[in-house]
Amino acid sequence: MSLIDFPTPVIVPYQEMYETLFNAITDALDTMQKNTPAAKILMEAQQKTEEMYISADPKAQKPEEK
């Protein structure tokens, strides 16, 4: 059975998944030398996804001034 034919909607906890992965990357970076290519790739990915997360969260955005 493909996902398209799945009879009921699947609720995926994306926020929990994101936070789990982000925190695991942070823990891994704490054990790595910060100037390695792998550490730089992970830090850049964290920064990019954090910017995406913040810009998509309406609670994190400032209310518009009237």
Contact 31, 18 (CB under 8 A): no
Predicted structure pTM score: 0.62
Q: What is the pLDDT of residue 57?
A: 66
pLDDT by position in tens, the chain (length 66): 456 676 777 788 888 999 999 999 999 999 988 889 999 999 999 999 989 888 886 665 555 554
Phi, psi of 62 (to 5 degrees): -75, 140
Kindly list the domain boundaries of the chain, sorted by start residue.
11-54
Mean pLDDT (the chain) is 82
